[in-house]
Amino acid sequence: MSPDRAAIPIRASPRAQTQPMKRHHSASYYVHRVKESLSTRISKFICAMFLLVLFFVGIIAFILWLSLRPHRPRFHIQDFVVQGLDQPAGFENARIAFNVTILNPNQHMGVYFDSMDGFIYYKDQRVGSSPLLNPFFQQPTNTTIVTGTLTGASLTVNSNRWTEFTNDRGRGTVAFRLEIVSIIRFKLSKWISKHHRMHANCDIVVGRDGLILPKLNHKRCPVYFT
């Protein structure tokens, strides 16, 4: 070997100089990492199970609420007739009679009707009123028939309104409104609710003969509480 070649020093490449040294972790480090991962998985599993249970409890509560919440009674007008509609002077000899059905749609809940009164309106003027039923209890899914009769002694209308009344009849129809006001309570097993004031408004139109128009017979009456 020549002396010139032996004098040349061997240098390490820059890549070899910058390459990081591998670190070796202890066994305790890996044990800690395993425990930490296991704890995270357990925490996620517990949270998932809690949310799942909460979801099913919410569904069950919603189903119970739908089945047990009170449904308001349903009123349907079945018949309405005004006798003496053609008399010239007023309601002295007139007679209004009507039938209304009340359905309790609740499957497990009864209804106490503590009072019930009927009111007849013509163009928002009350022309008569009468108590309808004594207090009674209506069983679940039961239907009750309410009848009412108002005669001339309990029917009043002023002269101006009577003129409008006869003019409407001359045109072929007369519109009335029957309002039934009740004080009710709901009953489920031993539980009884507080008193509620309930109104059922039945819009009625009669022809020249005083009979309700067929298209309005058996019509459901809107119900609201105050």
> What does the mean pLDDT of the chain come to?
82
Give the model confidence (pLDDT) of 132-190 as tens digits: 989 999 999 999 999 999 887 677 776 677 778 888 888 999 999 999 999 999 998 88
74-225, which class in CATH? mainly beta
Largest Cα–Cα separation, the chain: 149
* pLDDT at 20 (0 to 100): 54
Poorest-confidence range of 106-120, 144-158, 184-198?
Answer: 144-158
Q: To which residue do tokens 């609201």 refer?
A: 224
DSSP symbols for 7-53? TSPP---HHHHHPPPPP---HHHHHHHHHHHHHHHHHHHHHHHHHHH
* pLDDT at 54 (0 to 100): 85
Give the model confidence (pLDDT) of 78-103 as tens digits: 999 988 777 766 666 778 999 999 99
Give the model confidence (pLDDT) of 14-34 as tens digits: 555 555 555 555 666 555 565
| 128: β partners | 120, 155
Asked whether the CA dihedral 196, 119, 126, 176 is positive or negative, the reply is positive
* pLDDT at 36 (0 to 100): 63
* pLDDT at 182 (0 to 100): 97
pTM for this prediction: 0.70
Q: From edge to edge, which strands make up the β-sheet containing 74-83?
A: 143-151, 95-103, 74-83, 220-221
Q: How far apart are CA 73 and CA 104, in angstroms?
A: 5
Is 46 exposed, middle or buried, given 0-12, 13-18 or 19+ CB atoms closer than 10 A?
Answer: exposed
Q: How many CB atoms lie within 10 A of CB 144?
A: 17
